[in-house]
Structure 1
Amino acid sequence: MSPMRIPYENLKALNKPFEEAFKLKFNDFLNSGWYILGNEVAQFEKEFSNYHDENYVVGVANGLDALILSLKCCNFKKGDEVIVPSNTYIASILSILQCDLVPIFVEPNVETYNIDPKKIEDAITSKTVAIMVVHLYGQCCEMEPIVNIANQNKLKVVEDCAQAHGAKYKGKLAGTFGEYGCFSFYPTKNLGALGDAGAIICKTEEDYIKLRQLRNYGSEKKYHNGIIGYNSRLDEVQASFLRVKLPYLNEINNHKKTLASIYQSNLNENFIKPIIDNDFDNVYHIYNIRHKERDRLKAYLSANNIDTEIHYPVAPHKQQALYQLNNLSYPISEEIHATTLSLPCSFAHTENDIRKVVEIINQFN
């Protein structure tokens, strides 16, 4: 009999502990007769804002829309520049392009994979209007120097927190440093819905009112449209599921940290592991390692019944969709994308699963 396969992710198993609560919530939703922007969205917004000790949260349809609407809220001019890491998921860059803005790539710190604050100032021009940071893999960016640079240059800070629910830098939560904290609740996230969903943390009542209009056809009052808006509303049923899981977010994060600590302590020196730094509270949305023979390592693990993923196989500036950037070179980003491998590390995995992965991967040569 072949050994049991260890999947990279198993969403059915991950959500099994919440299944009965989901069913009750769905019945409440169904019986309410109110399916769009109702009590569940309002309550989730309140609970998510309380979790972050912030005043204003706006639920939207997905993480990409959270980024787009945040940029739209700023009224930037066509052709204005937004600094963004060269090492990120393409959604960060798509949001900038969708707003007729120009992405200006800045290389990451090769140890953290996040944007390198030391390189940001060199990228600032007279057309720069914002810095979009991406808290990649579950670890916050080095926000103190980034916020200082933004303040000195009168730039907005937009945080892409899609992978960083509950992550902290110097005790402060991701999404609370800049003008906008943008979240995705895609099902694989640490706080995952059962479909697409997103939210924005903002700092002012003025932005809160405007974002609520932007997500709903530019309307705050039914059939009265004050601005040109979009249809990007957090779904009522997804909000109800998120309300079930939000009280368990810290438990989910702590479980993933425990699994990550097994990797950290037991993987041998053939693999580049995430750095540990007391300033950063990493929630390990993704536990990634790096190896110069990444593709051979991935095939070896698959042959040994261990599934892995690559986040991400192609650097953004090399994507066909961004053909106008294909001739640019960002060697640090390219090196990361060529060598990174994501290991199983989810709420559905057990400590024994991870020890088995370690046992097998340490035999790779």
Structure 2
Amino acid sequence: MPAITEPKLISGNANMPLARAIARRMSMHRGMSVGLVDARVERFNDQEIFVEVYENVRGEDMYIIQPTSNPANDNLMELLIIADALRRSSADRITAVIPYFGYARQDRRAKARTPISAKLVANLIAEAGIDRVLTLDLHAAQIQGFFDIPVDNLYSAPVFALDIEHSFRNRLQDVMIISPDVGGVGRAREIAKRIGAPLAIVDKRREKAGEVAEMTVIGNVTGKTCIIVDDICDTAGTLCKAAEVLVENGATEVHSYITHGVLSGPAVERITKSVMKSLVITDSIEPSEAVRSAPNIRIVPTAPIFAQAILNIWNGTSVSSLFETETLAPIYEGMYSRG
């Protein structure tokens, strides 16, 4: 059954450049102007969040674009309050577009008397009146099961595969994909399979959180151009150490492809000074000025895939079609020509 109303976008303050980019992409696809709903999302003096929507949204199909990145609590509350404002304004359907899903690393009880915060956040989102969630590279796939509402989890693998094939097109035979830990093997294997590259693992053992005690390379990386693949880079300590270990084991070059560039604390300085030739991240989290100006950090846009996913949801067509490289190539237009 064809959609009657047009999709409408609204954004919090977490990543306004991405929201505008998604609106521009949707405008190109629709052949008409798609803008962000006029609203204000601001704070009172005591930091309470206030939302006011200036346009009529009664009966509309609404999409809230709001990653729950740093400051995670503020951005999460903005998302929930925007959803409440839309629900009380009689919006027909509310989809939360969460490019980076904060609290996803707290997806299980690692020890006694600790929370499963990802499940709590899922409950809050559903209780706020949100009908559907669209996100990118959830840290743990089982988080989708924390929700009693539909969750569409997009993957960066096909986009990264296109980028790798384009950036390393003259030396793909020397490329080896690296998982920075045993838990991320599935993610790394997916990209390795897409580009026909071998796979190796950096096995790490921690003495305590935030510190890496020992690293061992499983696989022969001698003479290889190594590409580390992961979903989150926070302080970049593990990433930079893994790059050093790979070079010590004979790798000629080390590059990294990370979906979510949290890049907190000393991360940018570490990356700039590291042996890594390049770090490629997406704009799921709004990059800081330091990130944008770093000489060896490059940003891949996510607006094309999110714009198409929103249109597919609105049209009632397949979102899983966006998991394929062949589907994404035309969406990313001339960025990654295979010639």
Same fold per superposition (TM over 0.5): no
Asked which structure has the greater RCO (Cα within 8 Å, sep 6+), the reply is: 1
Greater percentage in helix: 1
Q: TM-score, normalised by structure 2?
A: 0.35
